[in-house]
């Protein structure tokens, strides 16, 4: 663990651990917007909460907040994201996207995390809408995007991602559905390399959103091929929809075919059958 450098709220900022620092240095030329400002904590409530607070105070695009463990890690739909020490990557980045790119940021992130895992490990994850990352039918990574706006500033997005590195004691309710990179590979994994590859891929796909969003959608479709054209149950607010997930549209909404009509699902819970 590195030495303490700064106080921020109740948490102590540390130097980036040596394994992570070495990998980030090796990938420096590919980190783009994420190459300079990384805040590393040994323990934190939620990296998303910290990054949202920093973004509100004007933190630059590309600011990275990461921790060895989270005591209040959050997932989508109000769920808890289990974040035991050293068992995963817990990372949030501050983005300030152009307006038209906002709806596609989470899909670009899914593509990037899947690609980063593939580059670093050789494993080929699949995506499930909107951006769950799966290996062999089990979830290995998740993404939580949250928007905010500081006073007088355009919208910012904090994009948090958690990658299961080792098979820590998953809580019973997720143990059957989750996996880790080490379980899939059967060997130890270099978390610094996974982080560097994910940030490099995120930098490239995020930049692509401004110039060629269609290319990001196409890459998302390729990685989600095994989950499209399958029966789904979607819960949107109080409404439950049963149908077949056909595709995504240009804004990243899931298109679900339900007896003769196609319904756009913008958010909500999706169960794949
Ligand atoms: C999901 O439910 O699939 C999304 C999980 C997102 C977890 C990450 S870990 C880093 C960041 N901080 C959080 O509190 N959540 C996200």
Does 65 contact ligand 1 (Cβ within 6 A)? no
How many A from CA of 209 to the centre of ligand 1? 22
Query: Is residue 156 predicted with pLDDT exceeding 70?
Result: yes
Confidence of residue 170 (pLDDT cuts 50, 70, 90): confident
Q: Which SS3 state, helix, strand or coil, does residue 234 take?
A: strand
| Range name among 101-115, 193-207, 232-246 with the lowest pLDDT average | 232-246
Query: Is residue 249 predicted with pLDDT exceeding 70?
Result: yes
Confidence of residue 268 (pLDDT cuts 50, 70, 90): confident
Does 106 contact ligand 1 (Cβ within 6 A)? no
Closest atom of ligand 1 to CA, residue 91: 10
Q: Of the candidates 44, 101, 90, which has an alpha carbon nearest to the alpha carbon of residue 198?
A: 90
Query: Is residue 134 predicted with pLDDT exceeding 90?
Result: yes
Does 46 contact ligand 1 (Cβ within 6 A)? yes
Q: Which residues pair with 231 in a beta bridge?
A: 244
The two three-digit tokens of residue 114, written as one number: 């899947």
Pocket residue to mutate for ligand 1, from 95, 142, 165, 173, most atoms within 8 A of Cβ: 142
Whole-prediction pTM value? 0.93
How many A from CA of 258 to the centre of ligand 1? 31
Mean pLDDT for 251-269 is 93
Mean pLDDT for 130-140 is 93
Does 160 contact ligand 1 (Cβ within 6 A)? yes
Sheet holding 4-8, edge to edge: 4-8, 11-14, 38-44, 64-70, 88-95, 155-164, 138-149, 132-135, 126-128
Pocket residue to mutate for ligand 1, from 43, 44, 48, 107, most atoms within 8 A of Cβ: 48
For residues 13-28, b (16+ Cβ closer than 10 Å) or e, as one string?
Answer: bbebbeebeebbeebe
Q: What pLDDT score does 12 carry? A: 61
Pocket residue to mutate for ligand 1, from 40, 47, 74, 132, most atoms within 8 A of Cβ: 74
- Percentage of the residues of the chain whose pLDDT score is greater than 90: 79
Handedness of CA 256, 258, 263, 268 (dihedral sign): negative
Which residues have C-beta within 8 Å of that of residue 204, sequence separation ≥ 6?
A: 30, 32, 112
CA–CA gap between residue 72 and residue 90 (Å, rounded) = 11
For residues 99-116, b (16+ Cβ closer than 10 Å) or e, as one string?
Answer: eebbbbbbbbbbbbbbbb
Q: What pLDDT score does 9 carry? A: 45
- What's the whole-number average pLDDT of the chain? 91
**What is the tens place of the pLDDT at every residue in 4-44?**
444 444 456 678 999 999 999 999 999 999 998 899 999 99
Confidence of residue 90 (pLDDT cuts 50, 70, 90): very high
């Amino acid at each position: 663990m590195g030495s303490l450098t700064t106080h921020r709220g109740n948490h102590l900022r540390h130097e980036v651990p040596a394994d992570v620092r070495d990998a980030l240095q090796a990938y420096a030329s590919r980190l783009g917007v994420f190459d300079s400002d990384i805040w590393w904590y040994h323990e934190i409530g939620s990296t998303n909460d910290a990054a949202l607070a920093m973004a509100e105070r004007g933190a630059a695009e590309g600011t990275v907040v990461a921790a060895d463990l989270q005591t209040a890690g959050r997932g989508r739909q109000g769920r808890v994201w289990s974040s035991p020490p050293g068992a995963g990557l817990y990372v949030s980045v501050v983005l300030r996207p152009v307006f038209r790119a906002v709806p596609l940021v989470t899909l670009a992130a899914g593509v990037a995390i899947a690609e980063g895992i593939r580059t670093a490990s050789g494993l080929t994850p699949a995506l499930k809408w909107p951006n769950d990352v799966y290996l062999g039918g089990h979830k290995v990574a998740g993404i939580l995007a949250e928007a905010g706006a500081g006073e007088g500033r355009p919208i910012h997005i904090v994009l948090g991602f958690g990658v299961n590195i080792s098979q820590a004691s998953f809580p019973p309710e997720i143990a059957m559905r989750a996996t880790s990179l080490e379980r899939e590979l059967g060997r130890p994994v270099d978390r610094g390399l996974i982080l560097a590859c994910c940030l490099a891929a995120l930098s490239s796909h995020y930049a692509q959103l401004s110039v060629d969003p269609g290319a990001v959608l196409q890459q998302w479709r390729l990685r989600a091929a095994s989950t499209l054209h399958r029966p789904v149950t979607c819960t949107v607010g109080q409404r439950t929809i049963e149908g077949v997930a056909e595709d995504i549209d240009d804004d990243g909404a899931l298109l679900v075919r339900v007896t003769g009509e196609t319904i756009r699902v913008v958010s909500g819970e999706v169960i794949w059958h």
